[in-house]
Structure 1
């Protein structure tokens, strides 16, 4: 079972009437999910989608995403998920770069008309380049043959998602099944775009066998079964929501509860009402739930498993997940779009190991720590760039040989850009991003170490540290701190606390309190925005 169509069929046969997705008033069993996927794939084919075509999907977490996304694979095509926070220009850019022949769009999400945004942005592209032809479904994007609209109402020039079974009735059932049969494990399953925090986003090419392996490795380690009820807060357009979420469900039979827009109080309500057992997510999600006024009165005893996949997770948060949210099993892990499941802690690991490390490399991958300049392999406990090699490493970046060569060297090692160490037992500790490191008075400072220390200060919800220019030291640290609502912390308190726990050259020289840290939807703190905020403050001063 190394293709997504095969996994969908197996799930329908194995889990049958067991709930696959519960979204508000809609509940789909695995049998019903398979039928909807197949009918939707027939609709795609009737609209002109052919094996190997790219299909763009721009929608929030809802049951239609699960059907629409898996139907792309069933039709032999390649899924291109789009960030729901993208503006029209960003979506048009990705559609143009991938040559997508179909756009599936949830219109009206976040109070916007996404279909209108598409036409407007494409129209501006035409005006700038004098490209396009009248009569195109989206003028300026000639490859797009149709727009499928998820949502209420009616829009000219679109096909309603609910009408796809009727549209697809012209396609014989045996034809779409033969198309699904023909999908190969080595065919490209999806093109997920990186967050673009360090520049223009890049499309990551992943084969069916890789998407299946990433989900299966994660789910097996997490001991997922059909008895689990899985609250999926991570967005489906992200590998954490799609592969660790949707694909895990069809492999292991757990029930998905999609969350379109995260609200801590609503998430706590769902946990209690539906007896949720699994809740993976970025640290910010757990912080929000723990700090919610509703938390104290919510029964969270059903929670079994938490996984947080950020590169740097404060030990204090891991302890709170176990002691306050009542998770039986908390596992830290590390991965990226280019290699979704790379390291994981294992059931039975000590609390100290789970809090302090990202676990060991998963089966099928090799890991090493190397000097990013010389390539020299470092020994146990020595710091360097984290690198991986193996079958789950991406095929490469879309139409970008230079970036692919820079990321995967001639020996097949993926250069992650993350700094870390591996102990003698093989457990990875991520210390920071190479790009986030700064040099203060000749000493390397990794902000994650400072952030770990500040997480122990009572009243600090979370923090992010950047390097800022300093005439004497070259650079010094500045901490952006989110305070607990009832806290009376001052900048002097934060600095004094840090001085007691870390070397003087690592202690932040400035502290700014903020209501929230800027993040992308994958949960990564956008330190570029914090640097811009600092520059703005300097200019104002």
Structure 2
């Protein structure tokens, strides 16, 4: 199909799904078009005197100064030859510059392509080639990895420029890059903004590739603004909240549910590049942090650290999510860390990052044992293998439909057709149960389920039970081959600080607390579980 110039340029054969129609009543009142730059600039005027961003080094940008900084970056992109519809990749840790660069590229009409900071050169090269990125924004080094150096030898025919947001060597520096835009008149930026449409593509986020090569989920400005206005309202964000973002910006949790949601509501964004429990506790106290989202592992790490030595009284909101969140963790987040409101949520890259959320009025059991109910305007179904909708209480695959569902996978119509049916329902690949109230519980990824002697074993369910063991801080369960039963559970556990337990004792406890087919036949005690940059356990490393 022909793609209008204002849309992201793609190879022939890209399948855009049928657009979702929005009524005027679907939108909160706003003075501008519903694109990310327009809405951020509206916030800049509305919250002029509030700090917009404060970096780890103290570099601070007020909301009143946000638009000039972004327009300066946009001018540099224009001067460098970036056109509407181009892709600009970002491979760097959380920073002030990351945000300004992303907004500058989007203001210039480009779509950003965030890259996981844990990728190696071959993996990053695949995404850069597949997306056809014309520019890469990166750093010279992060956590011992020299990013430009890792790309040497990669075939990148579309990549024309590398710009360094930090460090030296391998590309033009950020300051030098910004100087390029000095000759670009303000009218040229205005023209790009005027041409930027709500249904233009704002980003392409690549999936993890755990079941094959990564695929790029394409979403638009309108979709993301629609989702995160509702998310922010449900979450309870408010102007001048101090929002610490440890979740990496390459992930929806750090980018969309992070600084985008924060800017829509007038929060102060506090980027944090590397998680360290003591550093984070000190920053919460120093910066008076009020909003602290993250995966369960972040809060478990804070609770295992010397948190009582810090003043955490400013903490107000937290949101987390996983297949299961122990009730004890939610209670400790409230009673020990003093977080007034703790919520859980569920989403995926293909839905702009969020589908369901708990509400503030929900009880601890609901918040810990469910992922909430859909945001207004989002539909879900639980279906069996034949696609028949299941009644409440029965487990099946979760389907999602609504404004947040991606346009498709970039230049991959076959994968798009496999993921989204003709009626707009997205197959998530997640197994879920919905209760009579509409709340869902994610029991597992379909691919993680294994069969023990004819019984379906759900790793998340077993992990949730193991979390109740007094000595266990974290666990991860996988299926391993067994000659008699086909597969049996194996558990990898991390003990609480100061706790002691043997594999045999844990297995004996499990036999008393779960059905026999769920009991781990072997237990391996580790100092830590392998986590990705988003804080999720990398089970493929455990299987290896």
> 1:407 corresponds to which residue?
419
Residues 383 and 421, structure 1, Cα contact 8 Å, conserved in 2: yes
> 1:457 corresponds to which residue?
469
> 1:481 corresponds to which residue?
493
Report deviation, 1:108: 2.2
> 2:252 corresponds to which residue?
239
1:490-514 Cα distance to aligned partner (Å, 9 max, x none): 1122112222221111111110111
Residues 48 and 145, structure 1, Cα contact 8 Å, conserved in 2: no
1:14 to 46, 51, 57: 46
Gaps of 5+ in 1: 126-140, 533-541
Q: Mapping of 1:390-469 within 5 angstroms?
A: 390-469=402-481
User: Whole-Å Cα distance in 1 between the matches of residues 64 and 50 of structure 2?
Assistant: 8
> 2:320 corresponds to which residue?
308
Report deviation, 1:316: 2.1
1:227 to 230, 235, 240: 240
Gaps of 5+ in 2: 1-32
The more displaced of 170-179 and 233-242 is 170-179
> 2:292 corresponds to which residue?
279
The more displaced of 302-311 and 62-71 is 302-311
SS at match of 1:216: helix
Q: Mapping of 1:178-327 within 5 angstroms?
A: 178-292=191-305, 294-327=306-339
User: Whole-Å Cα distance in 2 between the matches of residues 200 and 471 of structure 1?
Assistant: 32
1:516 aligns with 2:513: no
1:121 to 137, 150, 153: 153
> 2:111 corresponds to which residue?
78
Residues 50 and 240, structure 2, Cα contact 8 Å, conserved in 1: no
Residues 89 and 121, structure 1, Cα contact 8 Å, conserved in 2: no
- State the number of aligned residues: 510
User: Whole-Å Cα distance in 1 between the matches of residues 486 and 159 of structure 2?
Assistant: 51
Taking only aligned residues, the RMSD between alpha carbons, in angstroms, comes to 1.3
1:161-209 Cα distance to aligned partner (Å, 9 max, x none): 1133321012111111210121111111000111122221111100111
- Greater relative contact order (Cα 8 A, min sep 6): structure 1 or 2? 2
Report deviation, 1:309: 2.5
Report deviation, 1:407: 1.1
1:149 aligns with 2:164: yes
Residues 72 and 178, structure 2, Cα contact 8 Å, conserved in 1: yes
TM-score w.r.t. the length of structure 2 is: 0.92
SS at match of 2:100: helix
Q: Mapping of 1:319-398 within 5 angstroms?
A: 319-339=331-351, 340-371=353-384, 373-398=385-410
Change (3 A) 1:152 1:466: closer
User: Whole-Å Cα distance in 2 between the matches of residues 409 and 523 of structure 1?
Assistant: 31
SS at match of 2:394: coil
Report deviation, 1:51: 0.4
TM-score w.r.t. the length of structure 1 is: 0.92
1:59 aligns with 2:92: yes
1:176 to 189, 199, 203: 189
List 4+ stretches of structure 1 deviating above 3 A: none
Residues 310 and 523, structure 1, Cα contact 8 Å, conserved in 2: no
1:97 aligns with 2:110: no
Report deviation, 1:11: 1.4
User: Whole-Å Cα distance in 1 between the matches of residues 311 and 273 of structure 2?
Assistant: 22
Residues 327 and 364, structure 2, Cα contact 8 Å, conserved in 1: no
Report deviation, 1:310: 2.2
